Structure 1
């Protein structure tokens, strides 16, 4: 009888905890006491939309009619090049800081920080919401520091107090808030009194990435996910249009998607002694952190002789164009030894999934991302060549009349020609 009681009590406790978490997970967070300055109220509005995993060619490949229409009305890049590695957290944070991953500190979705003696992982909510992991000055922090209200319907870093600052309005990431509600919230934000109204809004969609991983980039299910994203963007723009405000839209993605060789995964080399090396991540790159620096060179030389469908690098000899070497590693988070697979191979101890990203985007074109922009600030009917995603940051700052106050890797002159 007692056992039954304890089981029931435990079940109720877990249920109540789950309900509390669910409720907390969907609540809007508002930082009180902030207002737009008189100068900020005169600026236009920017909604920065990210569709995770929306490959550079998806709009044409799957006939995303609305996005193709917006591209014709405004600006479309041949592609946007993600930073290395071409994975979600580093690149979302690069877009909003104008810094390469090695410079802002999110060097992978999961990585090790020797100084903290701790791993960061995108699945660890406590780490995700800890501002000490994040370098750079995200766009919403830049805006708030210059007395311009910002809002986030999800973005990497927006849940953390970076430099002690969060967006005025934000949600912790959850997929429990349906699309209709997300769009309604954006309209509510833009319907606020002028002094409380956000001029920068970030908006995130995961559909294309989920489908690409599960079914591969060429599957009908992925095409359906692309068209779902297309319909959401149309619904969002229609809702925003009703406010009558001069809103500009920038539609981007963090990376592309490619199919990999599922029949010949690369096993972790037996020469790696896990008693001597930490391995925070694998897949499209393996990073090894040595517990003793004396072990680095011997293992590197051994692995170099065994290269097969992958290349081995020391942090000190990574190709300079990747901006992922010891000279770039501002927070000392890149591994001492890196194993980088040759496309279409990945590291895995079991049969890998169909769709992957993370490869060098200058070598594997499937890694390239999307950039489409439209609205009153943008030129019409303009096609531009491919560019690196670091350049989005100074563009948005210029559009909002914000002064870039810290050094960034992006350059305004790259994208300034897209503005009227």
Structure 2
């Protein structure tokens, strides 16, 4: 009898050990790359052989609709949480947080690295909580101690760090021994956003940069193809938003319409601002801006449902958004302002749409995906990685068709 019990215990331990090893062996890999400001239709008008190759190898979406506001920090954090900015709290690139009585801005390193501003659960936390190591290279939020956690590997942002060296670092992480290796890696490059702002989308300089980024993608794909884990790695390449042209004769100076004593906070950046009214001046602000050609002012309780915005306390009392191709400024613009591009407009403007490409063992080949919302990326990544997602605003069923 004792021998039978001992045999059963040993058998159970053996099965458990085999199951654990099998799970470790089959744990998927995912690399997520964002190219900031890569407008959805750039590859349609510029020769991009590596993007074209990726499309044939896997999935290309017609476009991806971003979340409002169509700004960098709100959307990068949406991509990794599946929450719209109104729900994760990064409601603009610059905002006032009433709870802390502090202003968060993307240029304030102390604020950017402070986890108290970030709500929701980024996917690297989802992975780490479920026993999967993650690495994040310059992604919004990865420098902060969100929920008291960081990914196992992360980098302090260095804008000037060479793009090709970033690829090499990602490959180095993927080459770590299994016990240390991240199975989820997110990394970021800040172009073509910069050239889009300075020269405008579809400008000669922007087109040249798109070709450079296509070459960077080719280098990344080549390096990955040489890696021993190449056939086990899933890759997603996307962007946070698009880019629209702006024009010199479509600039609105807010000081022409608002008096400083009417508001306590006017925060944001072209083309979207949030306003906190001084008590008793709500009507003054609304009436002053309601009739201004080239912008829309929303009482945050009345923002259109399609924008999913305005309920978070950080949205304050009003949101003002420029009409497409218009600019809103708090102070007189520099001499050459209005000769490039920007983003942040209503997400129903397709110029704001982003790219989405993917390939790897989880994805179908040569598959065309209809337009979908960027909140769906988080549950998609969780599905690929066999992770249980945190509460989010996405819908896996909207994108399940791209998976095998």
TM-score greater than 0.5 by the shorter chain = yes
Which residue in the other structure is 2:86 paired with?
A: 102
Q: Is 1:191 the counterpart of 2:178 in the alignment?
A: no
The aligned length equals 376
Runs of 4+ aligned residues of structure 1 deviating over 6 Å after TM superposition are none
Output the CA distance in 2 between the equivalents of 1:415 and 1:251.
15
Partner of 1:375: 360
Show CA shifts across 1:188-232 (max 9, x none): 111111111111001111121111111111211111111111111
SS of the equivalent of 2:260 reads coil
1:274: Cα distance to partner?
A: 2.1
Selected match of 1:72 from 45, 56, 68: 56
Q: Say if 2:270 is the partner of 1:289.
A: no
1:315 maps to 300
For the 8 Å contact 1:40–1:147, the answer to whether it is kept is: no
> Alignment partner of 2:327: what SS?
coil
SS at match of 1:194: coil
Please point out which of 340, 349, 352 is paired with 2:321. Answer: 340
Q: Summarize deviations over 1:232-262 as a string: whole Å, max 9, x none.
A: 1111121122222111110100000111122
From the superposition, tell whether residues 191 and 261 of structure 1 become closer, same or farther in structure 2 (CA, over 3 Å). same
Q: Aligned partners of 2:269, 2:182: CA distance in 1, in Å?
A: 39
> Which of 133, 151, 167 is the equivalent residue of 2:151?
167
TM-score (norm 2): 0.90
Unaligned runs of 5+ in 1: 1-36
Tell me how far apart the structure 2 counterparts of residues 183 and 286 of structure 1 sit (CA, whole Å).
36
Compute the displacement of 1:40 (Å).
Answer: 5.1
Q: Residues 382 and 182 of structure 1: is their aligned pair in 2 closer, same or farther, counting only changes over 3 Å? A: same
Q: Match of 1:391? A: 376
Shift of 1:298: 3.8
Aligned equivalent of 2:214? 230
1:283-318 CA-partner distances (Å, limit 9, x unpaired): 1112211242x32234323432x3211111111111
Q: Which residue of 2 aligns with 1:112?
A: 96
User: Any residues of structure 2 matched to 1:12-411 within 5 Å, and which?
Assistant: 39=23, 41-245=25-229, 246-277=232-263, 278-292=265-279, 294-304=280-290, 306-326=291-311, 329=312, 332-348=313-329, 349-350=332-333, 351-362=337-348, 364-404=349-389, 406-411=390-395
Q: Distance in 1 between matches of 2:176 and 2:52?
A: 31
CA contact (8 A) 2:94 2:269 kept: no
